[in-house]
Amino acid sequence: MSEKLTTERHPDLMELEAARTGEATVAVRDHVKACPRCQEIIAELDMLAVDARVNRPAVMGTPSRADEAVFSVIEQRSQEIRWRYPKRRRFLTRPVWAAAAAIAVAVLTWSVLSPHRAMLPTIVKSVSYAGDVDRDGAVDIVDAYLMALRLESGIKTPENWDLNKDGAVDKQDIAVVTLAAVAVVEEA
Amino acid sequence: MKRIIFVLSLIAGTIPVSDVQARTAQESIVRFQAIDLYVDSGEHRLVAYQVEMRFDKSRVEVVGVEGGEVEVFKDAPHYDPRGLAGGRLILAAFTTDHKNAPQGRTRVARSHLRIEGEGQPDLGIRLITAAEPGGQRIKAKVDLEPANSDTMTKEEKGGE
């Protein structure tokens, strides 16, 4: 990554994912340490990983807002291409342009929109905050330990710790956090 | 002429066969090794640890994970089974039994590896986090060591 990270330029989603899995560059790591916004996004990525583990298909698909954004830009771009090219040439180049535009727009839209919290379902966000018990920006084994400690103490636990939504905060919820902590993210 | 054809056919047939034989021999060298994971928490009591183990997935597969030497970490640590053959495995465990939480260098887990090919494979280990009672993060050292035969069970030694 050659561009210097500043408060204006946040890491993109791939860089934040790398930071989440401990594989980011020093520049990204330093930025994340000092940036609450990026820490929040990383916490949400953590919980996406949890969701993948506990099979919640509701959050696995492309959000409808992203779909709409991608299709609207494709449509706009297609109109521009239709206007710019004569009919015969357009006939030959349109499929190539459409495919290229679709890929470019999809990548661009994903990288621009996905870091924003609005893209992620509220439920994932609330679970991520709950799972990150000590609020250090990551869900790890210490969060599971702190949950277990609180459960053993008998002190009332926060309702949002019911991560598997079974109506009770118990060992199953600690297991969800533990799974998130040890989940192996596929590497490219 | 017949002799020349015979010699040529022998050469043509021999080269690939010897190549395949060499490759097969290399792949057939398979051994199993137990590796111990140590966490050194110094003067702090260790109640939770999370480490990342890296290995060459083309040569190494983790075929088993078990707990360590102290009672509180006797059970196998948590891990994602996808990592066993994936070259990257995260191991983590915690205990709320503060009184029996270990101090100093402690064997907290043992991994059993299936190794293909000759020579010792590269194994990497990195501490992700460790904590003392109450959940305060602590600095700890982690290292891997081939399992000492004194601490292995008969089954682990191969039923000797």
pLDDT tens per residue, range A130-164: 688 888 888 999 999 999 999 998 888 888 888 88
Q: Do A149 and B135 touch (CB under 8 A)?
A: yes
> In chain B, what residues touch A144 (CB-CB under 8 Å)?
48, 92, 94
B21 assigned to some structural domain: no
**Given this model, what pLDDT does residue A64 score?**
67
B7: which residues sit within 8 A by CB, 6+ positions away?
none
What's the rounded Cα separation, in Å, for the pair B18 and B23? 9
Helix axes A64-84, A87-113, angle to 10 degrees: 150
**pLDDT tops 70 at residue B20:** no
B13 assigned to some structural domain: no
Let me know how long chain A is: 188
**Given this model, what pLDDT does residue B137 score?**
95
B116 assigned to some structural domain: yes
More confident position, A76 or A59 = A76
* Chain A CB within 8 Å of residue B88 CB: yes
**Given this model, what pLDDT does residue A93 score?**
60
Sign of the Cα pseudo-torsion (A141, A143, A145, A151, in order): negative
> In chain B, what residues touch A184 (CB-CB under 8 Å)?
80, 82-83, 86, 88-90
Q: How far is A183 from chain B (nearest CA, A)?
A: 5
Q: Determine the structural domain holding residue B130 and report its residue range.
A: 30-157
Classify burial at A23, counting beta carbons within 10 Å of its beta carbon; exposed 0-12, middle 13-18, buried 19 or more: middle
Report the DSSP beta bridge partners of residue B35. Answer: B111, B146
- Give residue-wise pLDDT tens across range B92-143: 999 999 999 999 999 999 999 999 998 889 999 999 999 999 999 999 999 9
| Residue of B82, B93, B137 with shortest CB distance to A184 | B82
Q: Do B92 and A181 touch (CB under 8 A)?
A: yes
**pLDDT tops 70 at residue B47:** yes
The answer to whether B52 and B126 have CB atoms below 8 angstroms apart is yes
**Given this model, what pLDDT does residue A66 score?**
73
Q: What is the count of structural domains for chain B?
A: 1
Which chain B residue's Cα is nearest to A174? B94
> In chain B, what residues touch A182 (CB-CB under 8 Å)?
50, 78-80, 83, 90-92
For the record, the structure tokens of B26 come out as 């290399």
B19 assigned to some structural domain: no
**Given this model, what pLDDT does residue B94 score?**
97
Highest-confidence segment of A40-44, A71-75, A161-165, B151-155: A161-165
- The CATH number of the domain holding residue B39 is 2.60.40.680
B149 assigned to some structural domain: yes
More confident position, A132 or A2 = A132
B80 assigned to some structural domain: yes
The answer to whether B79 and B92 have CB atoms below 8 angstroms apart is yes
B24 assigned to some structural domain: no
pLDDT category of residue B12 using cuts at 50, 70 and 90 = low
The answer to whether B46 and B101 have CB atoms below 8 angstroms apart is yes
**pLDDT tops 50 at residue A88:** yes
| Residue of B80, B83, B94 with shortest CB distance to A141 | B94
How far is the first Cα of chain A from the last one, in angstroms, to the nearest whole number?
A: 17
B8 assigned to some structural domain: no
